[in-house]
Amino acid sequence: MVQLLVGPEWFYGLDTLFETFSIIVSFLVGVLAYKIYKLTSQKKYLNFCTAFLMIAAALSFKIISNFVVFYKTVEKTFYGLFTVTYTHSFDFINLASLYLFRVMFLIAFLIILINIYGIKDKKIISLIVFLSIVSIFFSNFTYLLFHLILALVIGFISFHYFKNYSSKKRRTALLVMLSFLAIFLSQLMFIFYVYQTGFYVLAETFQLLGFLFLLLAYVLISRK
């Protein structure tokens, strides 16, 4: 089942600000990765660039998806003591934006996963992406499966960066590890949102923290 409304209404606006911040950070990281790619010609940085620009685009679609749920054109015509109200919803735009967000967001983190683990076999890559996307489109539990798969993907990414920090003990490595760990926890919170809407606020907060750590890592790397 597709969930058209994402998050409690009282939180709307704040989540948009959180995601706007995340979009800006993702864009900056994507541009930085591209600059490093131009200097080094290493394809992994081009892949990081693609992934983070996709994250920025995906979050933009999520903002659109949330916005159209709340946006309504209300036309009032007064007839004496009576008021007639016409309400026009935009469910199709919401649905299309929501799917674009999910597909692009998941693919972006799959690119990061494939990149850091050095998976080269195109057949395996195609299979991973195909199975992940199919699970989103052909399931009665789309919302849960999306966040569960995403949590698994980001969990493996977090583990990689934990090992990276354990061996290097650098501030940037710590910040990157904390970034993905926070985003991983946010996906778990999104799953529990099904049972209690308050978890949506926690999820958005953890996700914001993740991108905040990523911004700090970006600043440190940019100074070098």
**pTM, to two decimals:** 0.87
d(CA 70, CA 66): 7
Residue 33 phi, psi dihedral angles, 5° rounding: -60, -35
Q: What is the reported pLDDT for 70?
A: 59
Q: What is the reported pLDDT for 139?
A: 65
d(CA 197, CA 202): 9
Give the residues across from 87 on adjacent strands: 74
User: Is the distance from CB of 106 to CB of 74 less than 8 angstroms?
Assistant: no
Q: What is the reported pLDDT for 195?
A: 78
Residue with tokens 């983070």: 52
d(CA 214, CA 59): 16
Q: What is the reported pLDDT for 7?
A: 65
User: Is the distance from CB of 206 to CB of 190 less than 8 angstroms?
Assistant: no
Q: What is the reported pLDDT for 6?
A: 58
Q: What is the reported pLDDT for 66?
A: 76
Q: What is the reported pLDDT for 157?
A: 97
d(CA 133, CA 120): 20
Q: What is the reported pLDDT for 81?
A: 44
Taken in order of first residue, the domains within the chain and their CATH numbers are 9-223 (1.20.1070)
Q: What is the reported pLDDT for 194?
A: 74
For the chain, 224 residues long, the average pLDDT of each consecutive 10-residue run is 56 86 97 95 95 97 78 42 48 82 95 93 88 76 89 96 93 96 96 83 95 96 81
Q: What is the reported pLDDT for 18?
A: 94
Q: What is the reported pLDDT for 218?
A: 95
